Homo-oligomer: A and B are copies of this chain.
Amino acid sequence: MAGKKSPNGSRSDPEGTTEARRAPMREFSRSLPMSLLRAREAVMRQFRPSLRNHGLTEQQWRILRALTAVDTIEVTELARVAFLLGPSLSRILRDLEARDLIERRTAKADLRRGEVSISSKGLKLIEAVAPTSEAIYAEITSRYGARKLAELQDMLAELERGLAEMEVAGEPDAEADE
């Protein structure tokens, strides 16, 4: 398994004369988005099997996880905390409710708002998954180094902040980009 077959098969153009395509702009595989994507994927690959064994997707886990921290939460707030877009959250909540992992009611003060909370069944599920999850996280932490991990997260947070500023700054309507 993992034969590592020669990745450049029959590619023989050492000099580059027939090069119709030059200057890749940037190594591409080293672009920031790709780096972040690969790193995150590498992390999630560790957790997915365990979640899957418990019949949960990553996003469903995020939601249940967020719900354990509060008594009740409104849909919009939950979307913000679990970092999901409204439509995704809407669908997932429908499914989680059908599986009796969460409970919903509408706020009496504002009938538009929905209030969500985890059910006892949901809590049991969380408790069943948490140990494995924590173990994996601990393993990652010790392997990478707690200090370094914290530093990485700080850098990511700062990147986030800086980009948030860019958005308010340069956005001249965005239309008509030729």
Contact = CB atoms under 8 A, between A and B. Distances in A.
A83 B163 CA distance: 24
Contacts of A25: 65, 68, 130, 133-134
Contact of A19 (B21, B71, B163): B71
A31 to B, nearest CB: 7
A72 interface: yes
A112 interface: no
Nearest to A7: B77
Contacts of A41: 83
B163 A140 contact: yes
Contacts of A153: 30, 32, 35
Interface in A56-89: 58, 62, 65-74, 77, 80-81, 83
Interface string A19-43: 1111011101111111111111111
Contact of A38 (B13, B139, B156): B156
22 contacts: A9-B70, A9-B71, A13-B71, A21-B67, A24-B65, A28-B69, A28-B81, A30-B153, A32-B43, A35-B153, A36-B40, A37-B83, A38-B156, A39-B160, A42-B164, A43-B159, A50-B174, A53-B178, A128-B178, A140-B163, A143-B166, A148-B155
